[in-house]
């Protein structure tokens, strides 16, 4: 208790130096906390955007072009499998759309069937989605995203308007609600057309990719199992075993999570080095302080201080400096994450475990790097220390 | 109180050996006021360090209050210093960052005395050396004489059995020095055991007895006779 008071006196007695010593710890702790929370924020926003896509989403990719047994009828059959809610064939392309003098270059064209809106949780602002008859009749109709609608037609009435792609005219039958931009790309640049029209215009026959939604997130593995059984039955007699794959979002999430976890670890590691440098700073200043205060140590010993008194005085001083530095660093990182949140467009939160860890680490740095100077001070012989000038 | 028999202390200076103390023997009784006088470099401070348990002799026997302290651990020596010995140094040796009161409290802190008692005792001692109105001043805000009074108060605060003063007037002018010496006379009158180290014959005369030390040896002893 007494030593803590003495430590504070000595720290306050040399404010500038104490602050400079703390600066190393402040920067170290702040960079650990901020960088780790950026890593965690990135992780969060990636998994958020995957979540947005739907955790009950499965994709079936067919790798054979020849003897592909999948057709539109089979995809409809998939909808009746156990655990499956919806299944749609998907084929994608991109290109430039024209409407009068307006042009839209960043279009992402998706050819699919009715039900795709359910799978992707799309909702319509106006009009209707692609229907079963659109697909069977090969109708040149399209459902477009907000951005497409604005760029091509401005604020004018959009439904019933016509745009052209590759010279073919499409009638707009629906506009999607705004989806927003996520890590996996913009959602408002979509042009959704009937699958059969896509087959013709993409010059790509057959179904190579099917989006399937499970009844619920809990049903994903059941749906995956029944899809596998179904596909295996269809693929009997196929020459290669690797004729199709089924992916679910959980696997994707896990892959991404492990990638961002590595990133977080790396950032944290780099920042930890700066905390270490801060610790060496403490040791350096403490050593200077010991040799500067040799006479003080001599006086204290002459009037009855034991080795332990001196050891704890210097150790507590190092500890208090690093603890205060750690707490200031934490404060700095709170401010920094608040300032960075709008810049990085992700929600940065400081997890209590990281905050606690960083402060504990700074205390450990104080003890480890304060021990040597404190021990050195305590071992000084009083006569030698008193002679020192 | 103090029993010294054939005390020697050598320092190695490069290749040369310096006999700072050479076979010194003397006794000091309880309540005595003794001056140790000698020219600079004669070994006075070395002697005081041994008496004050800051240093240990190379050979010979030193007993403080009947105890052979050469076998004490550094911890036990620290305890002994804080409870039995009050040091007064030539350069005052106050801690510049603490005020007068805090400086005086310091020995009691190391003895583990409670805050309230500590403060009470320190104030009382500072009053007795005439610094009642300077308690919150730092050493840099005090004159040399006042600083030495703080140092004396610090030496007295734990009621030591022995007061050791190494050239207490060395850094003071004659008038202030005399005031300090009057304070020592008062302490002696209160039955304190005092060992005073000086190179000044006039100062030494104010003690009951002087031991003259030259080149690490006691040359002769003078009884100044009591005033009464
Ligand atoms: N730590 C030391 N190392 C080397 N020589 C020392 C040391 N302490 C004292 N001496 C030498 O011992 C002699 C006596 O010193 P000291 O006791 O300080 O004398 P005084 O206090 O009478 O001036 C001197 O010659 C001094 O140089
Ligand atoms: Mg001397």
What DSSP string runs through A77-104?
Answer: HHTTSTTEEEEEE-EEEEEEEEETTEEE
From ligand 1's centre to the CA of B33, what distance in Å? Answer: 24
Residue A193 and residue A112: Cα distance in Å, rounded?
Answer: 6
Yes or no: say if A188 and A70 are a contact pair by the CB < 8 Å rule.
no
What is the position in ligand 1's atom list of the atom closest to the CA of B40? 23
Q: What are phi and psi of B29, to 5 degrees?
A: -90, 165
Please name the residue of chain A whose CA is at the shortest distance from the CA of residue B90.
A386
Residue B57's domain is classified under what CATH number? Answer: 3.40.50.300
User: Does the global pTM surpass 0.80?
Assistant: no
Q: Do B75 and A300 touch (CB under 8 A)?
A: no
CA A65 and chain centroid, separation: 36
Residue B226 has pLDDT above 60, yes or no: no
Whether A299 sits inside 8 A of B78 (CB atoms) is no
Identify whether A221 is part of a domain: no
Question: Between B96 and A47, where is the model more confident?
Answer: B96
**pLDDT band for position A239 (50/70/90)?**
low
pLDDT for residue B81: 86
- Token pair listed for A41: 């924020």
Angle at B101 between CA B100 and CA B102, to 5 degrees: 95
Question: Domain ends where: A179, A197, A213?
Answer: A213
- Is there a domain that residue A66 lies in? no
Confidence of residue A181 (pLDDT cuts 50, 70, 90): low
- H or E element in which residue A19 lies: helix A15-53
Q: Which of B44, B78, B85, B166 to mutate to test the interface with A (most CBs of A within 10 A)?
A: B78
Domain tally for chain B? 1
Task: Output the pLDDT for position A380.
Answer: 84
Count CB-CB contacts under 10 A for residue B221.
11
Q: Cα(A70) to centroid of ligand 2, in Å? A: 105
Across the A/B interface, how many CB contacts are shorter than 8 Å? 61
Cα separation, B72 vs A163, whole angstroms:
102
Q: Which domain holds residue B24?
A: 2-227
**Shared domain check, A208 and A259:** no
A14 or B95, greater pLDDT = B95
Task: Using the mean position of ligand 1's atoms as its centre, give its distance from the Cα of residue A206 in Å.
Answer: 103
For the ranges A287-296, A355-364, B121-130, the one whose mean pLDDT is highest: B121-130
Nearest CA to CA, how far is B82 from chain A (Å)?
Answer: 4
Residue A317 near residue A286 (C-beta atoms within 8 A): yes
How many Å apart are CA B73 and CA A341, to the nearest integer? 60
Write down the pLDDT at residue B227.
44
Nearest atom of ligand 1 to the alpha carbon of B47: 17
Q: Residue B121: CB within 6 Å of ligand 1? A: no
- Written as six digits, the tokens of A254 are 């896990």
Give the number of other CB atoms < 10 A from CB of residue B178: 16
Closest of A49, A51, A77, A85 to residue A216, by C-alpha: A85
| Domain extent for A170 | 84-213
Q: Which residue has the higher pLDDT, A107 or A52?
A: A107
Residues A87/A211, Cβ–Cβ less than 8 Å: yes
Confidence of residue A238 (pLDDT cuts 50, 70, 90): low
Least confident range from A155-159, A249-253, A300-304, B168-172: namely: A249-253
> What is the model's pLDDT at position A186?
64
Residue B42 alpha carbon to ligand 1 centre in Å? 8
Residues 6 or more apart whose Cβ sits within 8 Å of residue A26: A278, A325, A326, A328, A329, A332
A70 lies in some domain: no
* A93 & A9 share domain: no
Question: CB-based contacts of A277: which residues, under 8 Å, 6+ apart?
Answer: A24, A28
Query: Ligand 1, atom 21: nearest CA belongs to which residue?
Result: B45
Q: Which atom of ligand 1 is nearest to the CA of B42?
A: 22
The pocket of ion ligand 2, defined by CB under 5 A, consists of B 45
Above pLDDT 70, what percent of chain B? Answer: 98
Cβ separation B78–A2 shorter than 8 A: no
CB contact under 8 A, B54 and A308: no
Averaged pLDDT for residues B67-84: 87
Mean pLDDT of B85-113: 90
CB A96 within 8 A of CB A103: yes
The distance of B169 to chain A (nearest Cα, Å) reads 18
Q: Is the pLDDT of residue A335 over 60?
A: yes
Comparing A31 with A185, which gets the higher pLDDT? A31
Whether residue B90 is predicted with pLDDT greater than 50 in this model: the reply is yes
Nearest beta carbon to residue B74 from set A10, A295, A307: A307
Name the domain count of chain A: 2
B9 in ligand 1 pocket by Cβ < 6 Å? Answer: no
Which of the four pLDDT bands, split at 50, 70 and 90, describes residue A381? confident
Domain end call among A149, A184, A213: A213
Residue A103 CA to ligand 1 center (angstroms) comes to 98
> What is the per-residue pLDDT across A282-303, written as a single tens digit (0 to 9) for each?
888 888 888 888 888 888 988 8
Interface of B with A (CB under 8 A): 49, 52, 54-55, 74-75, 78-79, 81-83, 87, 89, 93-95, 97-98, 106-107, 109-111, 154, 158
Reference B195, options B8, B51, B63, B9; nearest CA is: B51
**Could you tell me if A259 and A181 lie in one domain?**
no
DSSP for A346-357 reads: S-----HHHHHH
In this structure, is residue A205 part of a structural domain? Answer: yes
Q: What is the pLDDT of residues A75-129, one digit of tens each?
A: 999 999 998 999 999 999 988 999 888 899 888 999 999 999 988 888 899 999 9
- Residue the block writes with tokens 């610094």: B131
**Which atom of ligand 1 has the smallest separation from the CA of B46?**
17
Whether residue A93 sits in one domain with residue A10: no
Least confident of A63-72, A89-98, A105-114, B187-196: A63-72
Q: How confident is the model at residue B228 (pLDDT cuts 50, 70, 90)?
A: very low
Q: Tell me how close the Cα of A290 comes to any Cα of chain B, in angstroms.
A: 15
Give the mean pLDDT of B142-148: 92
CA of A337 to the centre of ligand 1 (A): 62
Put the strands of the sheet holding A244-248 in their side by side order. A84-89, A209-214, A57-62, A244-248
Task: For residue A54, give the DSSP letter.
Answer: -
Listed residue (A213, A51, A197) closest to A110, CA to CA: A197
Residues of chain A in Cβ contact (below 8 Å) with chain B? 2, 9-10, 13, 295-296, 298-309, 381-383, 386
């Amino acid at each position: 208790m007494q030593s803590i008071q003495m430590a504070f006196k000595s720290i306050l007695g040399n404010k500038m130096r104490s602050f400079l010593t703390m600066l190393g710890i402040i920067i170290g702790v702040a960079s650990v906390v901020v960088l780790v929370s950026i890593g965690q924020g990135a992780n969060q926003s990636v998994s958020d955007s995957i979540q947005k896509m739907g955790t009950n989403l499965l994709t079936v990719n067919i790798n054979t072009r020849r003897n592909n047994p999948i057709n539109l009828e089979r995809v409809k059959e998939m909808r009746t499998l156990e655990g499956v809610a919806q299944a749609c064939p998907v084929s994608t392309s991109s290109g430039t759309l024209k409407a009068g003098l307006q042009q839209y270059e960043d279009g992402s064209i998706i050819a699919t069937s009715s039900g795709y809106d359910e799978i992707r949780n799309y909702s319509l602002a106006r009009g209707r989605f692609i229907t079963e008859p659109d697909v069977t009749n090969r109708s040149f109709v399209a459902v477009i995203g907000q951005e497409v609608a604005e760029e091509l037609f401005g604020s004018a009435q959009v439904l019933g308007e016509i745009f052209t792609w590759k010279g073919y005219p499409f009638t707009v039958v629906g506009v999607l609600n705004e989806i927003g931009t996520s890590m996996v790309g913009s959602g408002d640049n979509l042009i959704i057309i009937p699958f059969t029209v896509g087959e013709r215009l993409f010059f790509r026959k057959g179904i190579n990719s099917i989006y399937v939604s499970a009844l619920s997130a809990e049903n994903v593995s059941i749906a995956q199992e029944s899809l596998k059984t179904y596909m295996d039955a269809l693929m009997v007699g196929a020459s290669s075993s690797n004729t199709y794959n089924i992916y679910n979002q959980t696997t994707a999430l896990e892959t991404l999570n492990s990638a961002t976890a590595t990133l977080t670890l790396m950032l944290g590691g780099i920042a930890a080095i700066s905390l270490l440098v801060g610790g060496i700073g403490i040791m350096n200043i403490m050593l200077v302080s010991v040799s500067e205060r040799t006479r003080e140590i001599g006086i204290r010993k002459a009037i009855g201080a034991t080795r332990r008194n001196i050891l704890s005085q210097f150790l507590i001083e190092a500890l208090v400096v690093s603890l205060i530095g750690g707490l200031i660093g934490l404060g700095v990182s709170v401010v920094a994450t608040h300032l960075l949140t709008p810049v990085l467009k992700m929600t940065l939160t400081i997890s209590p475990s990281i905050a606690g860890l960083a402060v504990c680490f700074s205390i450990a740095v104080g003890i480890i790097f304060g021990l040597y100077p404190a021990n050195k001070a305590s071992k000084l012989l009083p006569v030698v220390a008193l002679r020192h000038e | 109180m103090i029993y010294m028999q054939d005390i020697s202390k050598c320092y190695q200076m490069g290749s040369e050996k310096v006999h700072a103390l050479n076979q010194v023997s003397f006794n000091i009784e309880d309540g005595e006021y003794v001056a140790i006088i000698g020219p600079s470099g004669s070994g006075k401070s070395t002697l005081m360090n041994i008496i004050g348990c800051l240093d240990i002799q190379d050979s010979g026997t030193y007993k403080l209050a009947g105890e052979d302290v050469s076998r004490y651990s550094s911890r036990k020596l620290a305890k002994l210093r804080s409870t039995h010995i009050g040091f007064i140094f030539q350069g005052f040796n106050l801690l510049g960052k603490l005020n007068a009161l805090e400086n005086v409290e310091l020995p009691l802190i190391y003895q583990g005395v409670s805050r309230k008692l500590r403060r009470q005792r320190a104030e009382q001692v500072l009053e007795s050396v005439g610094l009642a109105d300077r308690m919150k001043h730092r050493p840099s805000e005090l004159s040399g004489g006042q600083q030495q009074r703080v140092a004396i108060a610090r030496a007295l605060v734990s009621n030591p059995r022995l007061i050791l003063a190494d050239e207490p007037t060395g850094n003071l002018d004659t008038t202030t020095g005399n005031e300090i010496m009057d304070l020592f006379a008062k302490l002696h009158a209160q039955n304190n055991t005092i060992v005073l180290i000086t190179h000044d014959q006039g100062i030494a005369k104010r003690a009951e007895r002087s031991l003259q030390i030259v080149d690490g040896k006691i040359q002769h002893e003078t009884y100044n006779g009591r005033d009464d």
